[in-house]
Amino acid sequence: MLIDVKDLAVHFRTDKGVIKAVDGVSFQIPHGKTLCLVGESGCGKSVTSMAILGLVDHPGEVVGGKIEFDGRNILECTEKEMRKVRGADISMIFQDAMTSLNPCFTVNFQLKEVLKLHQNLKKNALHEKAIEALEMVAIPSPEKRLKEYPFKMSGGMRQRVMIAVAMACQPKLLIADEPTTALDVTIQAQVLALMNQLKEDRNTSILFITHDLAVVSEMADHVAVMYTGRIVEKADCISLFRKPMHPYTEGLLRSLPSENKGRRKSKLHSIEGSVPSLSALPQGCTFWPRCPYTEEICKKEQPLLKECESGHFVACFKTEGVI
């Protein structure tokens, strides 16, 4: 197992009290596999990724759990040790390449900066490695592109540069935080195909963060569904799509446009209500105000994540036969 996250808890201390952005999250990612972390905005997906990278800033704080990466708990690493891990063993592709790449520096400078930091290469070898990184992500005329500034490139090209920077040192784990959200459908398909190819070629593990279930079906080996800082369902991709067990997952899958294909007058399904504020969560199961199966026990007790079928975990009283 490459990474094993156990009972991770990240809290933010605010004027409104303690916000439990991540509340006891656990998952594993084997070598060469992709886990998709799914959920609506504000459910804790990005904070989870920041915790793995050791980038949770004040007033946020990791208050519990373990993150075992390649056999060691990286939560116990010093900042100096984590600098050696970031970019070399764990890399990240951010949602918006334009805000992640510095517009004042060329692609050449930014790509070689990563290589200099983590690999002891001479000048010629450094240049060859930079060219190789751009060729790896299918960027045409890499010599020419190295000299360009990010703001002169298209969105798809910038995103490819971001992937090249992230993959330059051949990391064991690639974290992709909604990397295709700002791209059109054609470019999105190309980027997803590229990431899958890199996974195949280099046996890289991927933590893919998204709210788009159509993308999940293209990328995932396993899926973990998050809601208000907790994982409410996790399973392999095929099992989750064929037999969703949590009402929230059911609602997300029913919301896909493909479910309504051929029904001209039918409306798209939507989950009633909205995600509650983390500063004012309802008692019991946090999904009960939006759930069609709500009973009194849901309003009083928080269901635990339990294995209902082999490898399929769900946090719901309905699957326990209580309601």
In a domain, 205, yes or no: yes
In a domain, 233, yes or no: yes
In a domain, 173, yes or no: yes
Whether pLDDT at 228 is above 80: yes
Confirm if 269 and 255 have CB atoms less than 8 A apart: yes
Least reliable range by pLDDT among 56-65, 114-123, 138-147: 114-123
Cα 9 to Cα 15, 51, 187, 231: the distances in Å are 19, 9, 35, 12
Give residue 184's pLDDT. 78
In a domain, 323, yes or no: no
In a domain, 316, yes or no: no
Give residue 259's pLDDT. 47
In a domain, 25, yes or no: yes
- On average, the pLDDT of the chain sits at 90
Spatial CA neighbour of 271 closest among 285, 257, 292, 286 = 292
Furthest-apart CA atoms within the chain: distance in Å = 69
Give residue 25's pLDDT. 97
pLDDT digits (tens, 9 = 90+) for 25-73: 999 999 999 999 999 888 999 999 999 999 999 899 999 999 999 999 9
More confident residue, 323 or 86: 86
pLDDT digits (tens, 9 = 90+) for 250-292: 999 988 776 445 555 567 778 888 889 998 999 999 999 999 9
In a domain, 319, yes or no: no
Phi, psi of 169, rounded to the nearest 5 degrees: -95, 15
Give residue 77's pLDDT. 93
Whether pLDDT at 120 is above 80: no
Whether pLDDT at 230 is above 90: yes
The DSSP symbol for 269 reads P
The band of 312, judged by pLDDT with boundaries at 50, 70 and 90, is very high
**How many domains are there within the chain?**
1
Q: Is 308 helix (H, G, I), strand (E, B) or coil?
A: strand
Percent helix, strand, coil in the chain, to 5, is 35, 25, 40
What percent of the chain stands above pLDDT 90? 60
Indicate whether this model's pTM tops 0.85: yes
Distance of alpha carbon 166 from alpha carbon 52, whole angstroms: 15
The boundaries of the domain holding residue 173 are: 3-259+268-308
Give residue 42's pLDDT. 87
Q: Mean per-residue pLDDT for 120-140?
A: 88
In a domain, 322, yes or no: no
Distance of alpha carbon 144 from alpha carbon 131, whole angstroms: 10
Domain with residue 248: its CATH number is: 3.40.50.300
